[in-house]
Amino acid sequence: MDQSVPLVQFVNRPGVIDLAWGHPDPDLLPVEGLRNASARVFERYGADALNYGYAAGPGPLIDWLCGRLSDVDGRAATPDQVVISAGTSQALDQVTTLFTKPGDVVLVESPTYHLAVRILRDHPLELVPIAADEDGVRVDALHG
Ligand SMILES: Cc1ncc(COP(=O)(O)O)c(C=O)c1O
């Protein structure tokens, strides 16, 4: 099929390892697992799976995540503490909307994830880069 707009950002070029974007190896993406999970969801929930959902995200997924947070992280979250996002960009935008106002200063690791910079600037916030090392932000660099 001819596409005027590409489906993905990244075009795999044999023999080239493109480190510019950090795209995952397509062979590692769980296509079969998601195909099976989708089939099970449609079996169990039918058209509800495609309808407008609960504002914080699908209830069964939220319940499952609460159980997993309790089992894996050892801290039980309640369903009212969990919100499902469509990805890191949406979550960062929501958190920024909730907790900042235009002109606020945001400390960011240097270097910082480039899409986060774009989202934070859109709000518009003042980004102040802080030196980081393998353990994250260098707290000593915060003084001064
Ligand atoms: C190359 C690239 N594009 C887009 C995104 C945005 O991801 P999301 O869909 O979670 O907002 C990321 C996140 O790491 C990324 O690495």
Instruction: Say if residue 3's pLDDT is above 70.
Output: no
Question: Between 23 and 55, where is the model more confident?
Answer: 55
Per-residue pLDDT tens digits for 121-135: 999 999 999 998 888
Instruction: Say if residue 12's pLDDT is above 70.
Output: yes
* DSSP-assigned letters across all residues of the chain: ---SS-S-S----TT----SS-PPPGGGS-HHHHHHHHHHHHHHHGGGGGS---TTS-HHHHHHHHHHIIIIIS-PPPGGG----SSHHHHHHHHHHHH--TT-EEEEEES--HHHHHHHHHTT-EEEEEEEETTEE-GGGG--
Q: Is 21 in the pocket of ligand 1 (CB under 6 A)?
A: yes
**What is the predicted pLDDT for the residue at 25?**
82
Ligand 1: which of 92, 115, 118, 122 to mutate, most ligand atoms within 8 Å of CB?
115
Per-residue pLDDT tens digits for 47-100: 999 999 899 999 999 999 999 999 998 888 999 999 999 999 999 999 999 999
